[in-house]
Amino acid sequence: MPQPLDIFEAPLDTVNLVEASAGTGKTYAIAGLYLRLVVEKGLRVRDILVVTYTQAATEELKERVRTRLVEARQVFQQRSSAEPFYQRLLQRHVEDEAAVLRRLNNAVLAFDEAAIYTIHGFCQRVLDDSAFASKMPFETEIVPDESGLLREIVEDFWRRRLHDVHPLLAQHIVNRNLSPQELQAAIQPYLGKPYLQVSELEEIEDLSKAEEDFKQALSAASALWFTERDTITDLLLNNEGL
């Protein structure tokens, strides 16, 4: 049965699954567990990997973790704290305060080496560090936001397919207020779903005959309206069957 997370009781030598929604203290918990890894396990900051989603979340996490380390160092220097979290930390390390203080000081001084990344940032780092093993080109770059690339693809398609389109179709596109942005919005829901089956487009038949038929029908309708406008108007306005 799920139990509330106790930072000081969570085992550090196994996998911990923590379920949490927004605003429930995930960053607080991560910073606390990070501090324990430094204090209790003696790990260097470069040996602790923390991965999150966005760049903004990464920067916040770095700041929170560093603040924890700095505050903990100050607590062990003064050997006192009014905050329950640090009081409990002090009580757990009464007999090895000097060693803990040394670890905290080293962690703060070396924090520029902290391995706190976005998911794509960590993947990029692994590919860069292991380029030969991964057989990836040195210029490989992971793009965190593909919207710019998608926009380029859509605009390129729009230019190539519509630059010499027939005037009637061009007018239809204008009347419908269609645009590259509309096209991008239409395909966006289908991206990132590899399970979808994509069928090849059938060849579009020559529309010249259909266009000629349309022009003739339009011309005939215009001529009929010109000669029979009053009759048609009276029929539409006064016929009880309509």
pLDDT score of 69: 96
pLDDT of res. 100: 93
Kindly give the parts of the chain with pLDDT less than 50: none
Please name each of the domains of the chain with its CATH number: 26-117 (3.40.50.300), 145-191 (no CATH)
**Predicted local confidence at residue 44, as pLDDT:** 95
pLDDT for res 204: 65
Token digits for 24?
């429930």
- Predicted TM-score of the model (pTM): 0.59
pLDDT value at position 14? 87
